[in-house]
């Protein structure tokens, strides 16, 4: 196997992601009990069905298996700037394991930052697609406020509240993640192609479905469990009684995450679902500071009294010093960076490679330079002018 050759576990999981639908707990149990390689071999073979499925359903899975091409999926994803992150890898967010057998087989990730690092301080903002002006305003304001406080805003990339939340975070120069119910190479809805492309450039676009796959109503519902599990809490801005965002909130409740609601007018049908949550175990909030007070760590009760917590603050002190030593608008050699960080040349090189793996720096020959995302993070939300 060459350095560029994907390992067997990765290929097997890419194969299974094409064959097994997201959230399929039967398939998840097979993988847990026998491993991805054994399940993939069984689906490719001609033996009897694995336990828990009918002959009819097994035939359907086998039909999908016959046309699955994992190497082709990886190649298409690579061309779209995406990678496949699997459980147990360095970038896998461990909180997704709380989903048990409904845990994703893997996630397609488009964008440079580390998904695991970003998920550590993330909040979901969800709500109605056909939201009111009030809902859009609140979602954008919350997205901006959370981003300014160093929190990652996670949503579904849809019209309405989702789009407003993403735009609020982007407008603040902050971090945002769109979780799609389709292939990450095929933005949906089409009207948000430009927004989702911008998210991929400044943040992350992720999903369970292989490249080219299309969304369905059931896939939207199952996508919501990933949003709930990935984040520390789910904020619902506007939702009618049958809103899909309530599915996300209830999944968050089952997982022991914070469930949060933004109240609306008592007469608004679009706030009726939120009010129902608030009559239960959800917590009422009105601004980003209250969200942070609820989901944040001790000492974040008064966030305005301290500087914003940025993604770079999650780095080890030695790595932060090296990151801070890089000039903002030009390349620099290792010797210059080491002097600025007050460390040795060898230590500076080790930290630079660590930072490159996390998407903060890039190498240009014998020199190093901050990436666009690092410019946003290191400069506190202000990119180069």
3-state helix, strand, coil in the chain (%, to 5): 50, 10, 35
Helix (H) or strand (E) holding 245: helix 244-254
Contact criterion met (CB below 8 Å) for 260 and 286 = no
Rounded to whole angstroms, the Cα distance separating 219 from 84 reads 19
For the chain, domains (ranges, CATH) are 109-305 (3.40.50.450), 311-378 (1.10.10.10)
Q: Which residues of 30-48 are buried (b: 16+ CB within 10 A; e: fewer)?
A: bbeeeebbebbebbeeeee
Bridge partner list, 34: none
Digitized pLDDT (tens) for each residue of the chain, 385 residues in all: 344 667 889 999 999 999 999 999 999 999 999 999 999 999 998 778 999 999 999 999 999 999 999 999 999 999 999 999 999 999 999 999 999 999 999 999 999 999 999 999 999 999 999 999 999 999 999 999 999 999 999 999 999 999 999 999 999 999 999 999 999 999 899 999 999 999 999 999 999 999 999 999 999 999 999 999 999 999 999 999 988 899 999 999 999 999 999 999 999 999 999 999 999 999 999 999 999 999 987 556 534 445 555 667 778 888 889 998 998 888 999 999 999 999 999 999 998 988 888 888 999 888 999 988 777 655 554 433 3
Closest residue by Cα to residue 14 from 71, 75, 81: 71
Contact criterion met (CB below 8 Å) for 218 and 181 = no
Rounded to the nearest angstrom, the gap between the alpha carbon of residue 295 and the centroid of all alpha carbons in its chain is 17
Rounded to whole angstroms, the Cα distance separating 186 from 286 reads 35
Cis? peptide before 293, omega within 30° of 0: no
Rounded to whole angstroms, the Cα distance separating 290 from 253 reads 19
């Amino acid at each position: 196997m060459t350095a560029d050759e994907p390992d067997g576990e990765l290929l097997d999981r890419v194969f299974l992601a094409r064959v097994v639908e997201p959230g399929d707990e039967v398939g998840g149990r097979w993988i847990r009990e026998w491993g991805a390689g054994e399940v993939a071999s069984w689906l490719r073979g001609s033996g009897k069905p694995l336990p828990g499925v009918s002959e009819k359903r097994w035939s359907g899975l086998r039909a999908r298996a016959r046309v699955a091409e994992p190497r082709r999926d990886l190649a298409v994803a690579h061309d779209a700037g995406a990678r496949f992150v699997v459980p147990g890898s360095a970038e896998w967010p461990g909180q997704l394991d709380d989903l048990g057998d409904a845990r994703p087989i893997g996630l397609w990730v488009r964008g440079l930052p580390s998904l695991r690092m970003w998920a550590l301080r993330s909040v979901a903002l969800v709500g109605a697609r056909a939201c009111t002006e009030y809902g859009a305003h609140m979602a954008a304001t919350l997205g901006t406020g959370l981003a300014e406080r160093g929190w990652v805003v996670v949503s579904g990339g849809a019209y309405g509240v989702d789009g407003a939340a993403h735009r609020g975070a982007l407008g603040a120069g902050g971090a945002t993640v769109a979780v799609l119910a389709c292939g990450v190479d095929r933005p949906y809805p089409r009207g948000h192609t430009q927004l989702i492309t911008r998210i991929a450039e400044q943040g992350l676009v992720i999903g369970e479905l292989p490249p080219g796959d299309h969304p369905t109503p059931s896939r939207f519902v199952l996508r919501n469990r990933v949003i709930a599990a990935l984040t520390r809490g789910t904020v619902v801005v506007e939702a009618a009684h049958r809103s899909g965002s309530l599915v996300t909130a209830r999944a968050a409740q089952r997982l022991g995450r914070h469930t949060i609601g933004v109240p609306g007018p008592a007469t608004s049908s679009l706030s009726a679902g939120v009010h129902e949550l608030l009559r239960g175990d959800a917590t009422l909030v009105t601004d980003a500071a209250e969200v942070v007070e609820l989901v944040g760590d001790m000492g974040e009760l008064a966030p305005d009294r301290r500087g914003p917590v940025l993604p770079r603050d999650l780095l080890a002190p030695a790595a932060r010093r090296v990151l801070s030593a890089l000039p903002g608008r030009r390349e620099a050699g290792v010797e210059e960076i080491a002097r600025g960080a007050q460390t040795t040349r060898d230590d500076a090189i080790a930290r630079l490679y660590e930072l490159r793996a996390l998407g903060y720096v890039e190498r240009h020959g014998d020199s190093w330079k901050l990436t666009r995302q690092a410019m946003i993070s290191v400069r506190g939300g202000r990119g180069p002018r």
